[in-house]
Amino acid sequence: MRRPSGSKKAERFTESVIREMTRLSHEHGGVNLSQGFPDFPAPDAIKAAAYEAIQDDINQYAVTWGAAPLREAVAREFTRRYGVPVDADEQVTVCCGSTEAMITTLLASVDPGDEVIVFEPFYENYGPDAILSDAVPRYVTLREPDWTFDPDELAAAFNDKTRAVIINSPNNPTGKVFTPDELETIARLCQHWDVLAVTDEIYEHIIYDGVRHVPMVAIDGMADRTVTINSLSKTFSVTGWRVGWTIAPAALTGAIRKVHDFLTVGAAAPLQAAGAAALGSPESYYRDLAAGYERRRNLLLEILERHQFVCYRPSGAYYVMTDLAAFDVTDDVEFARTLVREVGVAAVPGSSFYRNADLGRTKLRFCFCKQDATLQEADRRLAKFGVQATS
């Protein structure tokens, strides 16, 4: 065999650290605050809709770009909420989760050598996504405590090779919600350089303190240069269902659908039917979702701060990025491994969210999409650990 260990492309990235931490957590009987998935049940209504779809024999392939009822529900809800017209037939493509939606969008829009701008810290998939789509990633740093970017640094990252910019708001791992002004700044640059905005808005409904989500596509002049990515995973606590979608300009939809078709054919048909039903949930569902997470956020912040983690208070998504100043840490990965092995709490090392690992060396991300009992068990375990803090 010429390449028993894999392609050059595959050599350029490592295993997902997030998924690795979940494995280590299982191995050590840890409380898993690493990989962001709820440990509480999905809503009864979406589960009932899925049973019903299987009973009704919605068990064969859906249309490759997504069953009409789900695409129509996605379009209808987006337009109702944000006043942006969306045509289900021309613009919506259902994928196997937003993970596939992102890689499909990049494969469909980027040519080898094109540059893609990524804000760091970034959700770790975006790095390998850029490599797999033969793009050259250019990183722009979001700086704590507010995770703002320097507009000049962003402007300097654009050039005539730039094809796309990836935005994730509310943001994983920082909890930042990009302000309308920041979105405007990015939008003006996209228009100036003729660049596509690919926006991962999977935490759209998980947002706190009265902050409002503004989709990039709603910014003036962005309708024909934005791909909006979302999914059922976080909104309906079904991360294992793998049902997501893109809302794209009609001119790009054909390319997205072709790539999607040959990658996966389609997402699970009965779960698409259940998704269509779930998207008809009343506003109270979304309000309760956000309120429940806001309460858990406050609980985890209180726990972590009591155990001397410096916390960056998230305005959205369900993660708390922390700094380890109190613990004399120089290697976040080693610290995370010790924490799961000896304390029994799993979190994600900060460096896995940075291209420049040094920027994350004293950081750790915890998630709070967990039952109170889970967060309280982490509290008890961390109590053992607090004594090791040096200040």
Footprint of ligand GLN (CB under 6 A) = 18-19, 35-36, 99, 123, 172
CB of 20 to ligand GLN, least distance (A): 10
**CB-nearer residue toward ligand GLN: 19 or 143:** 19
As given in the structure block, the two tokens for residue 132 are 């797999």
CB of 176 to ligand GLN, least distance (A): 14
**CB-nearer residue toward ligand GLN: 19 or 380:** 19
Selection from 177, 38, 102, 121 nearest residue 348 by Cα: 121
CB of 99 to ligand GLN, least distance (A): 6
**CB-nearer residue toward ligand GLN: 22 or 162:** 22
**CB-nearer residue toward ligand GLN: 172 or 174:** 172
Residues in Cβ contact with 167 at an 8 Å cutoff, skipping those fewer than 6 apart:
119, 178, 183, 186, 197, 198, 199, 200, 216
Cβ atoms of 66 and 93 within 8 Å: the answer is: yes
Residues in Cβ contact with 74 at an 8 Å cutoff, skipping those fewer than 6 apart:
86, 88, 92, 94, 230, 245, 247, 279
Nearest-angstrom CA–CA distance, 120 and 142: 6
Residues in Cβ contact with 338 at an 8 Å cutoff, skipping those fewer than 6 apart:
none
**CB-nearer residue toward ligand GLN: 35 or 351:** 35
**CB-nearer residue toward ligand GLN: 12 or 19:** 19
**CB-nearer residue toward ligand GLN: 58 or 229:** 229
Q: Indicate the residue whose CB is closest to ligand GLN.
A: 36
CB of 318 to ligand GLN, least distance (A): 9
CB of 35 to ligand GLN, least distance (A): 4
CB of 336 to ligand GLN, least distance (A): 13
Can you point out the beta strands (E) in 328-368? Answer: 345-346, 348-349, 363-367
**CB-nearer residue toward ligand GLN: 123 or 178:** 123
Note the Cα 385 to chain centre separation in Å.
Answer: 30
- Asked, as a colleague might, if the bond just before 173 is cis with ω within 30 of 0, I would say yes
Selection from 26, 29, 54 nearest residue 270 by Cα: 54
Selection from 391, 337, 326, 334 nearest residue 361 by Cα: 334
CB of 173 to ligand GLN, least distance (A): 7
- 383: DSSP letter: H
**CB-nearer residue toward ligand GLN: 309 or 319:** 319
Cβ atoms of 225 and 192 within 8 Å: the answer is: no
CB of 334 to ligand GLN, least distance (A): 20
Nearest-angstrom CA–CA distance, 277 and 70: 8
CB of 37 to ligand GLN, least distance (A): 6
Note the Cα 199 to chain centre separation in Å.
Answer: 10
Length of the chain: 391
Selection from 318, 116, 104, 280 nearest residue 202 by Cα: 318
**CB-nearer residue toward ligand GLN: 162 or 174:** 174
CB of 21 to ligand GLN, least distance (A): 9
**CB-nearer residue toward ligand GLN: 34 or 109:** 34
- 63: DSSP letter: P
Nearest-angstrom CA–CA distance, 244 and 267: 8
CB of 96 to ligand GLN, least distance (A): 11
Nearest-angstrom CA–CA distance, 118 and 122: 7
119 forms beta bridges with: 140
